[in-house]
Amino acid sequence: MEGLNFFFSDIMVRVLIGIFEFIFSLVILFHLNWKLTLISLCILPLLFLATRLYSKGIRRVSREVMEKGAVANRQVQEALSGVDVVKVFSAEERETARIHNFLEDYKRANIKRTVTFSLSSELLSLIGAAGGFLVLWYSGWDIIRGSFTLGSYIAFSGYLAKLYGPTQMLASVGLSFQPAFIALQRVSELMDLEREAKDSGIKLSKLQGEIEFRGVSFSYDSKPALREVSFKINPGEKVLISGPNGSGKSTLVKLILGLYRVSEGEILIDGYRAQDISLSSLRERISIVSQNTFLFNDTIWNNILYSRPEASAEEVEEVAKLSGVEEFA
């Protein structure tokens, strides 16, 4: 953190020094030749437009680089996680080719960003050189006519460099910060996600087990998963919900647990609206066996204890017996 603060402090000092040099040089230039100074200032709008134009392009390619990199990392991680499946089906070459394609996309996006940076830098230098050429051309005619001396031109050129230098430096700093702005924007999008209010609402000490859906609809990214679902489960009832993959069976359970919020309708648990119940007190009183087996990188004992850390050793051993874990662990 101290290194980051030092970096930004150094940047701010450079910017302030650049602004001071710009103002000081501008005053001297007007004193030496006001007409030539106005001609020199004509290129500053071009610097501004070029910086603005390339800033948009750099932001676009920087976002593309981040997205391509995230996709490539995800594919590599997925292949490593499912390496046994890949080997069983002899799909090593296919997975390698797939990952290679994603890495190629990532490489091309990086090349595009590098080229954009290089072009922007060269364009800024070209605009600065064009300003110097205009000054040379105009001052050359004044020197020939005798209205401007060679010594005054040399002095003017020296201060002109101090005028253009800070301007180009500020433009380059603005372009260099564009990837950082995109990264901050992505972090802001993550931070702006709505957080769960687990401890707010009604705290239930016990559940009777009555569950009622009233016209519940839910969608994943505008793709409907449930449409106006209504039913009621009384305490003690055993209910089987069947259907093809993607029909919304798991979604029903996740809605009851409060992992998702309904798009329309409402869910009642023991007569209370689900959104009015404290999520932590609700989830503590619901047991679930997921279709996706997941183990934390810890001992089997601690994995069994995860839902109830206060459970006794006898209870852990009983669970191990009932689940068949005791046979191999």
Report all structural domains of the chain as residue ranges with CATH numbers, in order of start. 2-191 (1.20.1560.10), 198-287 (3.40.50.300), 295-329 (no CATH)
In this prediction, residue 104 carries a pLDDT of: 92
The 10 Å Cβ neighbour count of residue 165 is 15
| pLDDT score at 2 | 47
What distance in Å separates the CA atoms of residue 147 and residue 139, rounded to the nearest whole number? 9
For the chain, give the number of residues. Answer: 329
- Report residue 175 as tokens: 């372009």
Strands 211-220 and 264-269: antiparallel
Residue 182's pLDDT is 77
pLDDT of the residue at 101: 92
- Predicted confidence band at 197 (pLDDT cuts at 50, 70, 90)? low
Q: What is the pLDDT of residue 4?
A: 45
Structure tokens at 144: 């020939």
Q: What is the mean pLDDT of residues 109-119?
A: 85
Confidence of residue 44 (pLDDT cuts 50, 70, 90): confident
CB contact at 8 A, 164 and 139: no
Average pLDDT over residues 103-116: 89
